[in-house]
Amino acid sequence: MTIYYLSTADLPSKRAHSIQQMKMCDSFVESGEELEFICPSYTLYKENHTSWSHISGFYDVKNEFNISKVRSFKPGGSLPARIFKKGVQSGMINLRLLYYLLSKEIDNTDVIYSRSFYSTILLSNWFNILPDSISPKIIYEHHNPYSQKLEKHLCENVDGVVFITEKLKNVTKKNTGIDDGKCFVAPDGVDLRPYQRANTRSRNSLRKELDLPLSSKIVAYTGHLYPRKGPQILTRAAVDIDAEVYIIGGYKEDLTRLKSNSPNCDNINYTGFVEPNKVHKYQLASDVLIAPYTTDAWMPSPLKLFEYMAAGKPIVASGIDVIKEVLDHRNNALLVDPEDSSQLANAIQQVLSNEELSKAISKNAKKNVQQYSWDNRANNILNFISNI
């Protein structure tokens, strides 16, 4: 079986969805499957940055797979321009697959695994007219809601849909009537290897490497700085936190916006963008890790949750539904009301001052995260595919 993984990701990219996709491809290949990753070629990076040596180092993946790029336009522009570019992008990806089909490189033993919504709609129309003897299975991994009409059409015509949260599955099922047999929930995951390797090093060794203060308590947020992820809630809470607060990651424009909307506190520190293969070191060097999502983040399965759990550090997070699918208050994290900076600060202070609680929730999180490895996720999805 060959998996043809369809994506709209720009490689290499600072965005979380590209990390997730590279890690999943790595784990699909680890499980013994052949894989080709098909994506647009609108990257701004030089050509050598899309070589396997650069991609594997940037994302810390070990199992080589083929990356095929198709010509496309860089996203952006007016609404009509964006619609046109989406159409061209989807068409070019699908033409590559049509060529494979006509040249008999694809058959019914193969799987098309897609993260491209519009490509999947077009593909499902084309492939549904083919006889079963030559038609591969089409699986769509669903992360974000689209129009109900389009979602219904997609769900009716694909072989299966992988959802990242129970909540997204339930909303989609209500809107489209998709059959339970086509549905599979697979939360995002984490690569445990970097945490296992770095665990052999002391906290002070990591802090020296990263130029972090050796004697201070460090409360850290890692990831992008979009408002729905809530970094502004943490910076507002910083005045009441007796520790150094580190905001790790983010685009330049997002850093500028966050700083302009945050209090001028001496204990707030910003690193800017950190390459994915180094983020775990900051997490392991910290004392408390924060996921202060707002109510606008109702559908994701945040990568940082699983990274935080793997780091074995106490977690303070917003108690929104999708986070509560993974974290349990006072068992493997402390959960607080979203967008309540005062409650967030109090919970952080509680973890910093209560060593027994801190150790207990950290230990449970690290134990629980074993089920969320990328390898386990890939194997679970492959089992789902084999049974439909």
Domains with residue ranges and CATH for the chain: 2-189+373-386 (3.40.50.2000), 193-371 (3.40.50.2000)
CA 292/CA 230 separation, integer angstroms: 5
Measured at the alpha carbon of residue 92, what is the angle toward residues 87 and 94, in degrees to the nearest 5?
Answer: 95
End-to-end alpha carbon distance in the chain: 15
What does the block give as tokens for 353? Answer: 């001052």
Asked if residue 174 lies in contact with residue 155, where contact means CB atoms within 8 angstroms, the answer is no
Give the number of other CB atoms < 10 A from CB of residue 271: 18
So what's the pLDDT on residue 183?
A: 98
So what's the pLDDT on residue 64?
A: 95
Give the 3-state secondary structure percentages of the chain, helix then strand then coil, rounded to 5. Answer: 50, 15, 35
Closest CA to 115 of 148, 135, 144, 150: 144
Partnered with residue 289 across adjacent β-strands are 220, 315
So what's the pLDDT on residue 42?
A: 66
- 37: three-class secondary structure by DSSP: strand
One digit per residue, pLDDT tens: the chain, 388 residues? 999 999 988 787 778 889 999 999 999 999 999 999 998 886 544 444 568 888 888 898 999 999 988 877 776 777 777 777 777 778 888 888 888 888 888 889 999 999 999 899 988 888 778 777 788 999 999 998 888 999 999 999 999 999 999 999 999 999 999 999 999 999 999 999 999 988 888 999 999 999 999 999 999 999 999 999 999 999 999 999 999 999 999 989 999 999 999 999 999 999 999 988 899 999 999 999 999 999 998 777 889 999 999 999 999 999 999 999 999 999 999 999 999 999 999 999 999 999 999 999 999 999 999 999 999 999 999 999 999 9
- 336: three-class secondary structure by DSSP: strand
The position carrying tokens 């680890």 is 30
So what's the pLDDT on residue 122?
A: 87
